[in-house]
Amino acid sequence: MRLSQAAGRRVVAGIPLLWLLLLFLIPFVIVFRISFAEVRLAIPPYTPLIDWRHGTPSLQLHWSAYSFLFTDSLYVSSYLYSLKVAAVSTLCCLLIGYPMAYAIAHAAPAWRPILLMLIVLPFWTSFLLRVYAWIGLLKNNGVINNVLLSFGIIHQPLALLQTDFAVYIGIVYSYLPFMILPLYTNLEKHDPALLEAAADLGARPLRAFVRVTLPQSLPGIIAGSLLVFIPAVGEYVIPTLLGRTDQLMIGRVLSDEFFENRDWPVASAVAILVLLLLVVPILLFQRMQRRELEAAR
Amino acid sequence: MSTEPEPVSAANPAQPAAGSDDGYVRLRGLTKRFGEFTAVDAVSLDIRRGEIFCLLGGSGSGKTTLLRMLAGFEVPSAGRIEIDGVDMSAIPPYERPVNMMFQSYALFPHMSVERNVAFGLEQEGLSRADIRRQVGEILDIVKMGAFTARKPHQLSGGQRQRVALARALVKRPKLLLLDEPLAALDKKLREHTQFELINIQQRLGVTFVVVTHDQEEAMTLGTRLGVMNQGRIVQVGSPSDIYESPANRFVADFIGSVNMFAGEVREEGPQGLRIACAELGIVRTDRAVRCGPGSTVWTAIRPEKISIARRAPPAAGENAVRGTVREIAYMGDLSIYLVQVQSGTLLRVTLPNITRGRERPIARGEVVWLSWHGSSPVVLTE
């Protein structure tokens, strides 16, 4: 009985492990390896890792893909632009999502599941469809411009589409639930007696919020911010459909390298650098989750 | 909310002036309704400066709601609260000269002991040096001076209780509210903490209002008790007043255990009453109670005020009844006897175990005589 239980546990833990190994680690190793190759016109379109041409095997490691990334300013500016877009979007999500999560956590218990469902409701429609809908809203003869024009607030259409503003709207709109849900989970656990204690000790409501609620919700803020920031850095669909054409985000650069230029080594190097860029926040996120788990025990 | 003070009740003929020592905290017609439910029903009460006033009652008696109104967390539906002569109606919790020790302690989990205690002083804008000094002093008083850097989750229940007390006391409130202060502690620690709490209270001279459902806690802590039932205060008095002279059947039954039976008044005179009671026979009391011959009253006798013997007492015609011992519970310091009298009812009698190993202890199944002194029965008309 005990033996089969242990075996069962191993199977349960093993399945996701195998999944991650096959679908994440192995592809990663392949991408990592391609990033050290050179491009060539063949199938596959890159040089092999081990060269047998002279009868003896020789390891072929090329840094050219990486060094190339720093010779053309396109890559560095795309990286920085992606970080900026992700950071601004995360901040906007936090500023909008925190009051919403707070309101849901303080709503009557019967209302909370309904409000949470409304937050998740947009997921029932395709992500792509929802982003396309924003084009209809933002374009020159779109809904927003037409309404503003008909009320005489503006006299010629605003250029909303293909701006930073459109990208922020798209990302904040799409990722807001990922900010709200962890924040709600955190805020919902707060002991209301703590706010009463703060008031009792002379703290006005705003001060009590800053001194008691805000520091305690920090794990929720970090979790929500990372859940928005990490995917936003590599976001491809939203900037492609709504964003500027003169300044690309790194996800678009990566796909262009693969599919337009067919330069797999450079594309792989871009992917590896994005990963390195995100390793710090990802590790931070994992460490915090571990601490949360330990504190909950 | 700004209604005039209600007329003085008969039990409290001399109304203390606002802000006087006797009327330090004055409640007048204080009422709280939640929808249809009246949690606190027209409570008028005076709390004296420097006393420990215990509000004692079962769950749903309104004692916690009353406390929360004093703190300012609940707005009264009617009536008023005055503390040291100042009407509290329009004053929010963060401006009241009142601090509270929460039942859950409500310590800020992300702050150290020192920061928790300093929190209240920081809201007053004191200098850092002043805050440090006052926090140090109060932590020494509650014997937590060695734990200033700890976080609440690193403390034991008793230590947390001390920090909560220090945090509530450090602002030197005019009134300290304690919500079930000892409920979370185990029995041994509770007893020890009780005396320490009294000690600290006397040292600092702060007026305490304690809410508890534990009568033992209320008796040892309180200089005076207010017994609450269904939103009303049914009796106010010293612990011995409440125990020895309960005002009605609810109080007699709620505080301690009691043998209480209905009876008919046979004779009424200045020397006392003679009551005929199916369970106790003829009960003669040596205290006069105005009730009128023939009326129905309740006779209450505490278990420790009944003596138990094998032989009949000299005047077996009254204040004595014969019965059979059905159960004996040995508690160490005392024993509880359940004696079945002729009517079939069980009477509860407790005897202290004064000697070690009595020669011939009263055994289960023995026929015994129960008797009591004329001062023991309490006659209740309501």
Query: What pLDDT is recorded for position B176?
Result: 95
B36 touches chain A (CB under 8 A): no
Nearest to A200 among B93, B104, B124 (CB): B93
Structural tokens at position B266: 């046979």
Give B66 or B360, the one with higher predicted confidence.
B66
Residue of A nearest to B98 (CA): A200
If one looks up domain B25-251 in CATH, what number appears?
A: 3.40.50.300
pLDDT at B11 over 50: no
Enumerate helices (H) and strands (E) in chain B, giving the number of each.
Answer: 8, 20
- Low-confidence winner among A244-253, B129-138, B284-293 (lowest mean pLDDT): B284-293
Residue of B nearest to A193 (CA): B106
- Low-confidence winner among A107-111, A277-281, B174-178, B258-262 (lowest mean pLDDT): A277-281
Query: What pLDDT is recorded for position B3?
Result: 44
Residue A184 CA to residue A164 CA, distance in Å, equals 29
- The domain total for chain A is 1
Nearest to A202 among B108, B110, B120 (CB): B120
Most confident of A167-171, B23-27, B251-255: A167-171
Structural tokens at position A297: 């025990």
> Is residue A30 one of the residues assigned to a domain?
no
pLDDT at A205 over 90: yes
Stretch(es) of chain B classified as CATH 3.40.50.300: 25-251
Q: What is the mean pLDDT of residues A223-250?
A: 92
pLDDT at B193 over 90: no
Question: pLDDT grade, residue B6 (50/70/90)?
Answer: very low
Residue of A nearest to B171 (CA): A201
Residue found under tokens 């592809």: A27
Nearest to B110 among A198, A203, A216 (CB): A216
Q: What is the mean pLDDT of residues B347-355?
A: 89
> Is residue A280 one of the residues assigned to a domain?
yes
What's the mean per-residue pLDDT of chain A?
90
CB-based contact B92 A216, cutoff 8 Å: no
Query: What pLDDT is recorded for position A55?
Result: 78
CB-based contact B94 A191, cutoff 8 Å: no
Structural tokens at position A139: 């374009």
- Low-confidence winner among A161-165, B99-103, B267-271 (lowest mean pLDDT): B267-271
In percent, how much of chain B has pLDDT > 70?
95
Size of the A and B interface in Cβ pairs below 8 Å: 59
Structural tokens at position A257: 């390298």
Q: Which of A189, A191, A196, A200 to mutate to test the interface with B (most CBs of B within 10 A)?
A: A200
User: Residue B250 CA to chain centroid, in angstroms?
Assistant: 13
> Is residue A2 one of the residues assigned to a domain?
no
> Is residue A49 one of the residues assigned to a domain?
no
Query: What pLDDT is recorded for position B224?
Result: 95
A201 touches chain B (CB under 8 A): yes
pLDDT at B2 over 70: no
The letter for the amino acid at B61 is S
**Contacting residues for B344 by C-beta, under 8 A, at least 6 apart:** none
- Cβ(A50)–Cβ(A59) under 8 Å? yes
Instruction: Please write the tens of the pLDDT for every residue from B220-257.
Output: 899 999 999 999 999 999 999 999 999 999 999 998 88
Query: What pLDDT is recorded for position B271?
Result: 80
pLDDT at B146 over 80: yes
B124 touches chain A (CB under 8 A): yes
- How far separated are the first and last CA of chain B, in Å rounded? 32
> Is residue A40 one of the residues assigned to a domain?
no
Nearest to A202 among B71, B109, B123 (CB): B123
pLDDT at B18 over 90: no
A198 touches chain B (CB under 8 A): yes
Instruction: Please write the tens of the pLDDT for every residue from A96-109.
Output: 999 999 999 999 99
Task: Answer positive or negative: Cα dihedral of A150, A153, A156, A159.
Answer: negative
CB-based contact A199 B110, cutoff 8 Å: no
Residue A245 CA to residue A113 CA, distance in Å, equals 41
Q: Is the ipTM of this complex over 0.95?
A: no
**Contacting residues for A184 by C-beta, under 8 A, at least 6 apart:** A101, A104, A105, A116, A220
Residues 213-272 of A with CB under 8 A from B: 215-216
Residue A223 sits in a domain whose CATH number is 1.10.3720.10
Burial class (CB in 10 A: 0-12, 13-18, 19+), B320: buried
Query: What pLDDT is recorded for position A293?
Result: 67
Give B290 or B122, the one with higher predicted confidence.
B122
Residues 52-71 of B with CB under 8 A from A: 71
Closest CA to A289 of A184, A178, A182, A176: A182
Q: What is the mean pLDDT of residues A161-173?
A: 95
Instruction: Please write the tens of the pLDDT for every residue from B361-373.
Output: 888 999 999 999 9
Nearest to A202 among B71, B110, B124 (CB): B124
Chain A environment of B163 (Cβ under 8 Å) = none
Residue of B nearest to A201 (CA): B120
pLDDT at A115 over 70: yes
- Low-confidence winner among B190-194, B233-237, B335-339 (lowest mean pLDDT): B190-194
pLDDT at A65 over 70: yes
pLDDT at B304 over 50: yes
Query: What pLDDT is recorded for position A296?
Result: 53
A51 touches chain B (CB under 8 A): no
Residue found under tokens 């928005």: A228
> Is residue A210 one of the residues assigned to a domain?
yes
Question: pLDDT grade, residue B274 (50/70/90)?
Answer: confident
Query: What pLDDT is recorded for position A1?
Result: 52
Nearest to A193 among B92, B98, B106 (CB): B106
pLDDT at A254 over 70: yes
Stretch(es) of chain B classified as CATH 2.40.50.140: 257-380
Angle at B31 between CA B26 and CA B32, to 5 degrees: 125
Residue B292 CA to residue B273 CA, distance in Å, equals 10
Q: What 3-state DSSP class applies to B104?
A: coil
Nearest to B106 among A196, A203, A216 (CB): A196
Residues 175-194 of A with CB under 8 A from B: 191, 193-194
Most confident of A40-49, B12-21, B190-199: B190-199
Residue of B nearest to A194 (CA): B106
User: From the CA of A212, how many Å to the nearest CA of chain B?
Assistant: 7
CB-based contact A200 B94, cutoff 8 Å: yes
pLDDT at B12 over 80: no
Instruction: Please write the tens of the pLDDT for every residue from B323-335.
Output: 999 999 988 888 9
- Low-confidence winner among A32-41, A278-287, B174-183, B242-251 (lowest mean pLDDT): A278-287
If one looks up domain B257-380 in CATH, what number appears?
A: 2.40.50.140
Residue B304 CA to residue A85 CA, distance in Å, equals 80
pLDDT at A232 over 70: yes
Residue A73 CA to residue B298 CA, distance in Å, equals 98
Domain residue limits at A188: 69-296
Residues 192-251 of B with CB under 8 A from A: none
Query: What pLDDT is recorded for position B316?
Result: 65
Please spell the DSSP secondary structure of A198-267, one letter per residue. Answer: HHHTT--HHHHIIIIIHHHTHHHHHHHHHHHHHHHHT--HHHHHHS-SSS--HHHHHHHHHHTS--HHHH
Question: pLDDT grade, residue A178 (50/70/90)?
Answer: very high
- Cβ(B106)–Cβ(B164) under 8 Å? yes
Question: pLDDT grade, residue B342 (50/70/90)?
Answer: confident
Enumerate helices (H) and strands (E) in chain A, giving the number of each.
Answer: 15, 2
| Cross-strand pairs, A46 | A39
Query: What pLDDT is recorded for position A113?
Result: 95
Residue of A nearest to B100 (CA): A200
Query: What pLDDT is recorded for position B89?
Result: 86
Q: How far is CA B371 from CA A193, B77, B260, B309, B321, in A?
A: 52, 51, 15, 8, 6
pLDDT at B10 over 80: no
User: From the CA of A204, how many Å to the nearest CA of chain B?
Assistant: 6
